[in-house]
A and B are shown apart, each in its own frame.
Chain A
Amino acid sequence: MGTVAARGLSKSFGKVQALDGVTLDVPDGSFFVVLGPSGAGKTTTLRAIAGLEKLDAGSVHLDGRDATGDTPAARDLAMVFQSYALYPRHTVYENIASPLRARRCSSSEITTAVEQMSSLLHIERLLQRRPAQLSGGEMQRVALARALVRRPRAFLMDEPLTNLDLKLRVEMRTELTRIHRSLGATFVYVTNDQVEALSMADQVAVLKEGKVQQVGTPTEVYERPANQWVAGFVGSPPISLLACRAEGDRLVGAEGWTLPRPHWTTAEDGRALLLGLRAEDLSVEQRGNASLSGELYGLEPLGDRTLVDVRVGTKIVKVKARPTVTGTPGERLQVTVDLDRAHLFDADTGLSLSEAGR
């Protein structure tokens, strides 16, 4: 067992409201990612679950039992700190062994467990060093080893891969997913990297300014963002948003364009809307019945594809294209829109107006 539930967590630091009614339900054995920009309250959420932060309101439930008043030790959780928090006077070996020593494991158990962890994370060579003699990436792996050496109720990980170089990060992503699967344990994983969130998570909670914006599977969060902010935060390049209105069977853009009205929206005529278009749902190479006209603003070759920046009125719309695409800035273009995959948001509230399950 290892369910973690947070109910209405609120916490302020002076004038800063770090958490504002955060509610999360982490099922047993799931890889649960908390995704949000810097300052969203991700670390504070983890610290609250771990019992390191005194809450203004709300409760934490572990395995269905109210654990709000429990000490961190009693909660039986392991955490990877954003700053690693490796003990500076202890060797890497002693750092990894610390959770086992605290819980009075026998020394043979400790030796076996530390050796197993260090080979898993490729840090055998470092066991006799001190944290000051390690690189950032090595420290991060030691911090992971210290958390993974024990079998706690759940693992809390605060941006454990941010300091690794890209290659190692991609490797460790796969490695962590593999470890998660083989342990079958509950992971609560914090990151500001949406690629990490989408590739690793069973479920994602998107956090902004201490409030949960949306909880769902990576596909749900990406395909059906609950609001304009989530749509803009998840996805790279960011979604293009165009102001418009519904008028009869047409969408009329503030920039003068018109598109057929998507059948899936219930937005009434005249309401101020934002049309959200992801780069991969647009094309400059194919023809279709729904299109926007604009002029070529620039090309961003990314190797496997090229991003075409098209100016529609005063807005720049990003379009994904094959790497072979060419053009000169200023050239007139037609951008074909896959309206079945577009998003509509209320311009005032930002909430999605796309029907679920369309």
Chain B
Amino acid sequence: MAVSVDEAVSTGPARDHSPPARRLGGRGRSGLEVALLIVLAVVMLFPVLWMIETSIKENRDVYAIPAKFFDFRVTLEHYRDVFVAPDGGRSALSVSFLNSAVVAGVSTVLATVLGVPAAWAYSRFAVKAKKDQLFFILSTRFMPPVVVVIPIFLMYRQVGLIDSKLGLILIYAAFNVPFTIWMMKGFVDEVPAEYEDAAMLDGYTRLQAFWKFTLPLLVPGIAATAVFALIFSWNEFVFAIFLTSSDDVRTAPPAIAGLIGGTTTDWGLVAAASVVFALPVLVFAYLVRKHLIAGVTLGAVRR
């Protein structure tokens, strides 16, 4: 019994699983395999490396033809420009990063607060047409955001949520609640319902039983789910660009995109802003790397 949620969810094959002898002789990778992997790695990583390089090059070197790969002058002024405006005040970009943090954070908290109890209810109670309801909840994630962005734009204009952080928070929470319910239902299913039964016989109410005995066991699952929700909200672009326009509301993705275009593009600034933007996601992805594989296949979190 007493399966720790952490163990239960890190699906077996993803780790601690030595692959069966992959070659006939069980030797390492062949030369061809290594060569292909190197090519793949270069293709995948080149844009990232180029972005990092550009962010620390002097402007002269950024625009140099032929492009300078190695001997360029290193500078951190692009990073300074991300945060500090030319007049010495706060830059518009730094405001957009702050907006992103607020919008992503609040919408994730909202989705977690609503989604975790819902997942618990779906796991524990005999809900009418439970499977259909769960499928409906999942189906809201089938359509790409761009399909609904126009109707939402029109509705938001009616109720005055256009160009407001609250509007973005609500729409992101709405997208993250179904995800949270699905992911958390898998975690709740792993916790035996009898802990709550025992607690109720001890004299606690059903909600106290959930709060005191089940919730602490769900913390690792909640953390993983919240990080996924956070990453979604942090990266979201389509709603952000359609529903916001002013600098003090705009989140980072449209703000960075807005740097490109016009007569000249400050590529060094774009690259530095992108690096700053990517860092939190990398850190969080690293924190939940065990759950990433399980999370990709949503419902398949079970043993």
Contact = CB atoms under 8 A, between A and B. Distances in A.
B216 interface: yes
Contacts of B200: 51-52, 71-73
Interface string A75-117: 0011101011111110000000011011100000000000000
Looking at chain B's contact residues, the main secondary structure is helix
A79 B217 contact: no
A99 B2 contact: no
Nearest to B126: A54
A85 B198 CA distance: 7
A273 B77 CA distance: 102
Nearest to B125: A54
Contacts of B204: 73, 102
Interface stretch (B161-169, B180-188, B189-197, B269-277): B189-197
B217 A73 contact: no
A51 B200 CA distance: 9
Contacts of B198: 79, 81, 85-87, 98, 146
B203 A88 contact: no
Interface string B199-222: 111111110100001001100000
B203 A102 contact: yes
A132 interface: yes
A29 interface: no
Interface residues of B, number: 21
A241 interface: no
B67 interface: no
Looking at chain A's contact residues, the main secondary structure is mixed
B216 A102 contact: no
A77 B217 contact: no
Interface in B11-54: none
Nearest to B206: A71
A71 B197 contact: no
A98 B197 contact: no
A88 B2 contact: yes
A261 B216 CA distance: 69
Contact of A72 (B126, B192, B197): B197
Which of A78, A84, A89 has the most chain B CB within a 10 Å cutoff?
A89
A338 B197 CA distance: 51
Contact of B202 (A83, A102, A132): A102
A81 to B, nearest CB: 6
Contacts of A87: 195, 198-199, 213
A2 interface: no
A83 B191 CA distance: 13
A72 B200 CA distance: 6
B59 to A, nearest CB: 57
A36 interface: no
Contacts of A71: 200, 205-206
A160 interface: no
Contact of A79 (B195, B201, B205, B216): B201
A210 interface: no
A218 interface: no
B199 A98 contact: yes
B1 interface: yes
Interface residues of A, number: 27
A102 B199 contact: yes
A217 B204 CA distance: 36
A132 B2 contact: yes
A50 interface: yes
A294 interface: no
Contacts of B126: 54
A98 B204 CA distance: 10
A225 interface: no
Which of B2, B197, B200, B202 has the most chain A CB within a 10 Å cutoff?
B202
A54 B192 CA distance: 18
Which of A78, A85, A99 has the most chain B CB within a 10 Å cutoff?
A85
Contacts of A47: 197
A131 interface: yes
Nearest to B191: A88
A81 B197 contact: yes
Nearest to A74: B203
Contacts of B1: 83-84, 88, 131
Given A98-B199, A131-B2, A83 B205 contact: no
Contacts of A99: 201-203
Contacts of A86: 2, 198
Contact of B194 (A51, A85, A101, A146): A85
Interface string B247-286: 0000000000000000000000000000000000000000
Contact of A81 (B4, B194, B205, B208): B194
B213 A73 contact: no
A103 B201 CA distance: 11
A72 B202 CA distance: 9
Contacts of A81: 194, 197-198
B63 to A, nearest CB: 60
Nearest to A132: B2
Interface of B: 1-2, 4, 126, 192, 194-195, 197-206, 208, 213, 216-217
9 contacts: A52-B200, A72-B197, A73-B200, A79-B198, A83-B194, A88-B1, A89-B216, A98-B199, A146-B198
Q: Which 5 A-B pairs have the closest CB atoms?
A: A102-B203, A85-B194, A88-B2, A72-B200, A85-B198
Given A81-B197, A87-B198, 12 more contacts: A47-B197, A71-B200, A72-B197, A72-B200, A73-B205, A81-B198, A84-B1, A85-B197, A87-B195, A88-B1, A98-B202, A146-B198
